[in-house]
Chain A
């Protein structure tokens, strides 16, 4: 069974540029999560989807971050414009349902110059 797929794996951009990350969850998983992991820290939840619905986006900085999960499968996380402090690893995870085991993708490593 394929795991959670994320792309790109690495991204280098200049500040004020837009950037987008893509996630394909494990087949059949209804719940999808986006996490932010700063260097030397644990992941922090940005947003959680139940199918197409964002049920917890309280930690998403909505002035510059947006996310969507069309058709309840793939998801895209966007930052516009990017700031230096956005340099981090963006992890996507999925689970069959909320409170079930979360499986993580390899992450997208973002560097903003």
Chain B
């Protein structure tokens, strides 16, 4: 079983829809949670960053972390065609040694927003 599981989709929604993307994880040492967006033939770019449990909002994007359930979500409101990309969740542990700063990614969810 992978440490981080993400529903790969693909997900296709109409413009203006609310999108929900989710990841579950098994490593209780994870404390830093990120969402990356990756456009076709590009590298991932950081979208949202959350430490520990709670919510964080940035414009149309909201990230939620529930450490008790080992579950994180990304919500996109008023989705736009320009949001069409692969969304990757990523996590890291706050530990010393070689694992410090190591990101563990989910498989990615392919999102298409059609006009």
Q: Please determine whether A40 and B8 come into contact, CB atoms closer than 8 angstroms.
A: yes
Contact B43 A99 (CB under 8 A): no
Residues of B within 8 A of A93 (CB): 43
A106 adjacent to B43 (CB under 8 Å)? yes
| A104 touching B43, Cβ below 8 Å | yes
A45-B8 Cα distance, complex, nearest whole Å: 20
* Interface size, B (range): 20 to 34
Give Cα A10 to B32, complex, Å.
33
Checking B41, B102, B103, B106 against A106 with a beta-carbon cut-off of 8 angstroms, the contacting residue is: B41
B98 to chain A, nearest CB (A): 4
Q: Return the CB mask of A74-113 against B: 1 if under 8 Å, else 0.
A: 0000000000000000010101011111111111010000
Is B18 located at the chain interface by the 8 A CB criterion? no
> A interface, how many residues as a size bin?
20 to 34
Contact check: which of A43, A99, A101, A109 meets B100 at CB < 8 Å?
A99
The verdict on A42 contacting B107 (CB below 8 Å), with A99-B32, A99-B92, A101-B46 known, is yes
A98 touches B41 (CB 8 A): no
A-B interface, 10 closest residue pairs, ranked by CB to CB distance from nearest: A42-B105, A98-B101, A104-B43, A56-B98, A99-B101, A104-B44, A98-B100, A106-B43, A42-B88, A105-B43
New A-B pairs, 9, CB < 8 Å, besides A42-B108, A104-B36, A105-B43: A40-B107, A42-B6, A42-B107, A56-B98, A56-B102, A91-B43, A99-B94, A102-B103, A104-B44
